Structure 1
């Protein structure tokens, strides 16, 4: 599968060291990398369908101070979708109120029919991109029915409901950003960790520093973060994902079909 990372703070911080540690894991996740630096209302996104450790472009980015309040990063181990740039995370899309959304995902959707119709609409061919299109479609529907833009709280409650449905039988570790709120969700044990310190809020698939404060993310809940603090927390659902032999076989077959098994 993949690894995901985000940094969220109330003040811009330099996070090169964290990113370098994160991208060092690319030997085991060699099928692409992505970086999203959120600057005011603009998403500065860079991604390539190559191993992060082999990317000269990424080396150039990290050779200069990267200072920001909101940063997301992804390294890909492909399970669904070819190794091409459109399949690299992050994915971005506008909703009908011209709000920009960004998503990175670590997991696999094994079965969720409501996503199927987005196969014809997505740029690439990943289940992750379909998740983003599905979420935006539902946000648009909600706001059309309301006749006005949603509030931050309304969007959070809507996403909590959608992600609970998505997570039944599927691994849904994801991070979303809507320009206001960072959303974090995990439903697989020991697959997402967080560190809260004076610099801000760090979340990653595995701890990326020697700090003693890293803790497992609480399972089966959606969290909403602004300025390094959790401001919303959903009710806990029952859809913990447990990897089975059948899941392993599905993933291996996907890798083999793309000649990625080595």
Structure 2
């Protein structure tokens, strides 16, 4: 049995954050796992879900997607993750996957409805693609093609549709390599990122792509494994009891999930590709200074207050 992931050492609570912590508390939060072998997310999700209404106020819906090769199991709910019976089921049901993406929502655009809950799923080249976004995009009304249209009303889903249209147009025909996809993502991320904060996780079941516009952290757990303790729940696990030397897990999150491990703080503009539980490629897609300034000011939604419709 392989639990929610495997362990590492220590994240000091005084980490070197580069933008205001207000950004992560106002907006949504992301969680991703990329693993060398199928792994369950029970431990990490138990802490992450608490931020959806208990230890934080991201209570406008949640979702989680588990890849099984080309296809996905997707669970979404407009209830808060801290109180949702579906979230409770996920905490207790050890679904194993090599790529998992979860999201808890603090609505900025689009009401707290099921169709606006992340992650979003689309098909391309005979595979499911999964996307989740943390941020707020302004003056963003892209012209979309015939293949991908939003179901809900969020800027996030519009960004995903544009991203998928861009990939499909660039590689019309056979499925491209992961390296080619990574290069294409850098281009479209640069285009979308001009409109605002655009932290995201994306996967096609082969790799997990992560972009840090303002705030993202990750760690890689590998042999020899040790224990970890959650920040948001009084829960610890000794990963050495469940893992083998072949296990390796990358955990990506908006905010660190544990208080006794080393978490790497991503640089703004860092685009990463995770494969087999470790960083396979990385590059910088510059974040516009206006976006960084808005984040430093703690105003991810610009000058607009949070409206009564969200």
| TM band (smaller chain) | 0.7 to 0.9
Instruction: Find the counterpart in structure 2 of residue 156 from structure 1.
Output: 182
Instruction: Find the counterpart in structure 2 of residue 197 from structure 1.
Output: 221
Alignment deviations for residues 124-146 of structure 1 (CA, whole Å, 9 cap, x no partner): 111111111101111111122xx
SS of 2:136's equivalent in the other structure is: coil
Decide whether the 8 Å contact of 2:51 with 2:58 is kept in 1: yes
Decide whether the 8 Å contact of 2:70 with 2:127 is kept in 1: no
Instruction: Find the counterpart in structure 2 of residue 59 from structure 1.
Output: 88
Q: CA RMSD in A?
A: 2.1
Instruction: Find the counterpart in structure 2 of residue 179 from structure 1.
Output: 205
- Structure 2 unaligned spans of 5+: 1-26, 223-247
2:267 is equivalent to residue 218 of structure 1:
yes
Instruction: Find the counterpart in structure 1 of residue 51 from structure 2.
Output: 25
Instruction: Find the counterpart in structure 2 of residue 170 from structure 1.
Output: 196
Alignment deviations for residues 24-47 of structure 1 (CA, whole Å, 9 cap, x no partner): 111210100101111122200000
Instruction: Find the counterpart in structure 2 of residue 256 from structure 1.
Output: 307
Decide whether the 8 Å contact of 1:220 with 1:239 is kept in 2: no
| Residue of 4, 29, 34 corresponding to 1:3 | 29
Decide whether the 8 Å contact of 2:186 with 2:285 is kept in 1: no
TM-score with structure 2 setting the length: 0.75
Question: Take 2:300 and 2:66, find their aligned partners in 1: how far apart are those partners?
Answer: 33
Question: Take 2:195 and 2:115, find their aligned partners in 1: how far apart are those partners?
Answer: 26
SS of 1:107's equivalent in the other structure is: strand
| Deviation for aligned residue 1:249 | 5.4
Question: Take 1:75 and 1:153, find their aligned partners in 2: how far apart are those partners?
Answer: 29
Aligned positions, number: 250
Q: 1:138 and 1:26, CA in 2 relative to 1: closer, same or farther beyond 3 A?
A: same
| Deviation for aligned residue 1:223 | 0.8
| Deviation for aligned residue 1:160 | 0.6
Question: Take 1:90 and 1:251, find their aligned partners in 2: how far apart are those partners?
Answer: 25
Alignment deviations for residues 112-162 of structure 1 (CA, whole Å, 9 cap, x no partner): 34x2558x9311111111111101111111122xx5332221111011111
Instruction: Find the counterpart in structure 1 of residue 75 from structure 2.
Output: 46
Please identify which structure carries the higher helix content: 1
Decide whether the 8 Å contact of 2:133 with 2:156 is kept in 1: yes
Q: 1:195 and 1:37, CA in 2 relative to 1: closer, same or farther beyond 3 A?
A: same
| Deviation for aligned residue 1:100 | 1.9
Question: Take 1:148 and 1:7, find their aligned partners in 2: how far apart are those partners?
Answer: 27
| Deviation for aligned residue 1:248 | 4.4
TM-score with structure 1 setting the length: 0.88
Question: Take 2:101 and 2:299, find their aligned partners in 1: how far apart are those partners?
Answer: 31
Instruction: Find the counterpart in structure 2 of residue 229 from structure 1.
Output: 278
Q: 1:18 and 1:251, CA in 2 relative to 1: closer, same or farther beyond 3 A?
A: farther
Question: Take 2:165 and 2:106, find their aligned partners in 1: how far apart are those partners?
Answer: 27
SS of 1:223's equivalent in the other structure is: strand
| Residue of 132, 137, 146 corresponding to 1:109 | 137
